Amino acid sequence: MKIPRIVIAGTHSGCGKTTIASGIMGALAARKMIVQPFKIGPDFIDPSHHTRICHRHSRNLDPFMMGEDGVTDTFTRACEGADIAVIEGVMGLYDGVDGSDLASTAHVARLLQAPVILVVDAHGMSRSAHALLKGFSEFDPTIPLAGVIFNKLGSDRHKRMIESSLPVPSFGWIQKREDITVASRHLGLFMAHESGSMSDAGKVIEEYCDLDAIIVTSKSAPDLQITAEPKTGSSVRTTIGVAMDPAFCFYYQDNFDRLRSCGANLVFFSPIADRLPDVDAVYLGGGYPELHLPELESSPCTTGLKNAVDRGMPVYAECGGLIYLTGEITAEKTYRMCGVLPAQSEMTKKIQALGYVLGKSVGTGSYLSPVRNISGHEFHYSRVIPDRDARYAFRLSRGKGIDDGKDGLLTLNAIGSYTHTYFSKKFADLFVDAAVNFQE
């Protein structure tokens, strides 16, 4: 497979790699190139900006959740029809799981044999940048560090202080700009639909970076020898409703692909504004339900979901979707929610869990009981208080879940989990089969 590709890595979180990666995507798109965006790691928010800029769904590349073969398969499938792939890294270039290389930006760059451009926050340093770059370029000789983009420069003089005798080529010098940064909140940056501040990032790249050199570097990536999963088509067997609005917007695009490949027609709807559509199952992702509690309390969908679950409809809910299915959510005030799961929820000021998750089904008779292994990620500022006799679908070997490693709160055919699950084919098959059985 021949696809020009580049990884935009950072020295650390907060150095500006999201802005610069998004700007490069925007600048390439402005040249009428078809850009396929990617995000390394389990993040949902950065891909929303990529997707809006490139008009192609950004994909997560995460060896921990997907396995190495899963990374190369997703990359291969997503790049079909694209002119170039731009891959935004996670954290610092070499930061992986538990201080290892696993699932680091370097790990993915090595898998995809993609040249790396390092983003360096130059604030408060000059010649020390040379020492930093020497360390990054020599730390792992298997990582092809193609060059650097300096960010947050103070002035032209600041640039002149750094640019002589650089150990790697420079692709750009960007002075500090407040107008192209995205504000943060407790789960990360604001989503793309909430912020237009990335709209000028492409123009900044054109002005301050050598985009032609970046394109040439992307073309230096060698052909990939990949054995991808064969494409499988499936006739539509059932319809699954997917919650998609400002309250529920955290999804892995691969999960949608897996459900469709197993025979699901996906219908997107807003629990804030819509009634529950005529579907055979519901998938509720994470997001920010705590910002829309009055609207959710009064929404006809809230009552409709309870009635549907009582009739046996399968529902799978993650994080924000989980707390929406409980009896109520307390966030300064208390708001009535679906009342599907035997628990109450409360928002907290401190983070309750953050990290990768591994688990197994505990065989409690749910439609997901045959799933042997699950993998995913958890990140939340809420707490679920289950009833004493609550049942769970999953037992975690890694991660906190709802209650000391127990996750997947279970009622009838409704399962609510703090884990943002990366669907395996088996997982997707079972969910679709449950929808088909309910339909029949």
Residue entry with tokens 């930093």:
132
Alpha-carbon gap, residue 276 to 223, rounded angstroms: 47
Alpha-carbon gap, residue 252 to 319, rounded angstroms: 14
**Residue 157, number of CB atoms within 10 A of its CB:** 9
Alpha-carbon gap, residue 340 to 75, rounded angstroms: 38
**Residue 270, number of CB atoms within 10 A of its CB:** 17
**Residue 51, number of CB atoms within 10 A of its CB:** 17
Q: Which residues are catalytic?
A: 319
Q: Could you tell me which residues come within 8 angstroms of residue 91 by beta carbon, excluding any fewer than 6 positions away?
A: 10, 12, 13, 41, 104, 105
Alpha-carbon gap, residue 405 to 407, rounded angstroms: 6
DSSP, collapsed to helix, strand or coil, labels residue 196 as coil
According to DSSP, residue 245 is labeled B
Residue entry with tokens 């600048």:
27
DSSP, collapsed to helix, strand or coil, labels residue 285 as coil
Alpha-carbon gap, residue 287 to 270, rounded angstroms: 12
Phi, psi of 204 (to 5 degrees): -65, -40
According to DSSP, residue 228 is labeled P
